Amino acid sequence: EVQLVQSGAEVKKPGESLRISCKGSGYSFINYWIAWVRQMPGKGLEWMGIIYPGDSDTRYSPSFQGQVTISADKSISTAYLQWSSLKASDTAMYYCARQDPAGLYYFDYWGQGTLVTVSS
């Protein structure tokens, strides 16, 4: 069974750093792109970026380029989303999602989400 299991909720202060994770199982992790999606409170989904764990090829939405870093450790089938200096506006639910294997450009499996709260 394909699963994406995300790390737990985080409460941080502005200026702190943070890395959240998404662990894939039930499939060949290195062969599927993994995307990150932001959902701010009461708002819609925003596509942030995507990584191919096999070679760490990474693409970012222009809106998020330079704001976050996406990485992966293929040895433990885990993708990451990290911030070097959090802002209150980073408060959101973050989802990881797997791109389909057949090149049809959609996301077939989703993680359960990680809630990040940034508050002083």
Partner 1 sequence: QTVVTQEPSFSVSPGGTVTLTCALSSGSVSTSYYPSWYQQTPGQAPRTLIYSTNTRSSGVPDRFSGSILGNKAALTITGAQADDESDYYCELYMGSGIWVFGGGTKLTVL
Q: Which residues, in sequence order, are CB contacts of 48 under 8 Å at separation 6+?
A: 35, 36, 37, 38, 60, 61, 63, 64, 68, 70, 81
Q: Which residues, in sequence order, are CB contacts of 84 under 8 Å at separation 6+?
A: 17, 69
What's the distance, CA 92 to chain centroid? 12
Closest CB 91 distance from partner 1, rounded Å: 16
Instruction: Enumerate binding residues for partner 1 (CB under 8 A).
Output: 33, 35, 37, 44-47, 50, 57, 59, 61-63, 95, 97, 100, 104-108, 110-113
Closest CB 88 distance from partner 1, rounded Å: 22
Nearer to partner 1, 32 or 33 (CB): 33
How many Å apart are CA 46 and CA 113, to the nearest integer?
Answer: 13
Nearer to partner 1, 16 or 100 (CB): 100
Nearer to partner 1, 13 or 59 (CB): 59
Nearer to partner 1, 16 or 55 (CB): 55
Please check whether residue 48 is in contact with residue 62, taking contact to mean a CB–CB distance below 8 angstroms: no
**Rg for the chain (alpha carbons), in Å?**
14
Closest CB 120 distance from partner 1, rounded Å: 26
Closest CB 61 distance from partner 1, rounded Å: 6
